[in-house]
Amino acid sequence: MSESFWRLYFVVLVDGEPVGMQDLVGADFTRFGVVSSFSWLVPGRRGDGIGKEMRSAVLHLALAGLDAREAESDAFADNHASNKVSRTLGYEPNGTTWDTLRGELAPIQRWRLTRDAWEQGRRDDIELVGVEECRPALGLG
């Protein structure tokens, strides 16, 4: 981790049990103000809204706590659940790219969420604690 690149790793717990992970990445964050996120849920917990809650929480941290200008995300085009979370939270399609999935080329859908779009659906039930103390480690003074 440095001021030009950082990655925050979060474990997602439900009733004390780990069910997934959520990352928040800032590359040249002080210059661009853009974050990207990555998440994963155990198969047995998919489809019950946890993914949306995870992403909502990390977006709140990024946009309200770290003053990000926008957030990016991506998912394989056939990952309908992840793409639905992005769409539901106000992200707009932002092009496509390619990666490999099980050894085969596969399209990736890229997403972009601006601060204005996030503000329109901003939640008031997410509390940030201890963020100010962490900002210097991320180069945010």
For 6-37, the pLDDT digits (tens) are 999 999 999 999 999 999 999 999 999 999 99
Within a domain: 67 = yes
Within a domain: 42 = yes
Per the structure, the count of domains in the chain is 1
Within a domain: 140 = no
pLDDT at 4: 81
pLDDT at 141: 79
CB-based burial of residue 129 (10 Å sphere; 0-12 exposed, 13-18 middle, 19+ buried)?
exposed
Confidence grade of residue 94 (pLDDT, cut at 50, 70, 90): very high
Confidence grade of residue 3 (pLDDT, cut at 50, 70, 90): low
Domain region containing 40: 5-127
The Cα angle at residue 92 between residues 23 and 100, in degrees rounded to 5: 55
Within a domain: 137 = no
Contact 108, 74 (CB under 8 A): yes
Within a domain: 9 = yes
Region 47-53: what's the mean pLDDT?
A: 94
Of 66, 40, 48, 37, residue with least CA distance to 128: 66
Which CATH number do you get for residue 94?
3.40.630.30
Within a domain: 24 = yes
Q: What is the maximum alpha-carbon separation in the chain?
A: 44
pLDDT at 40: 95
Token duo for residue 116? 């204005």
Within a domain: 120 = yes
Within a domain: 138 = no
Rounded to 10 deg, the angle between the 50-60 and 80-88 helix axes is 50
Cα–Cα distance measured from residue 120 to residue 4, given in angstroms and rounded to the nearest whole number: 29
Region 103-125: what's the mean pLDDT?
A: 97
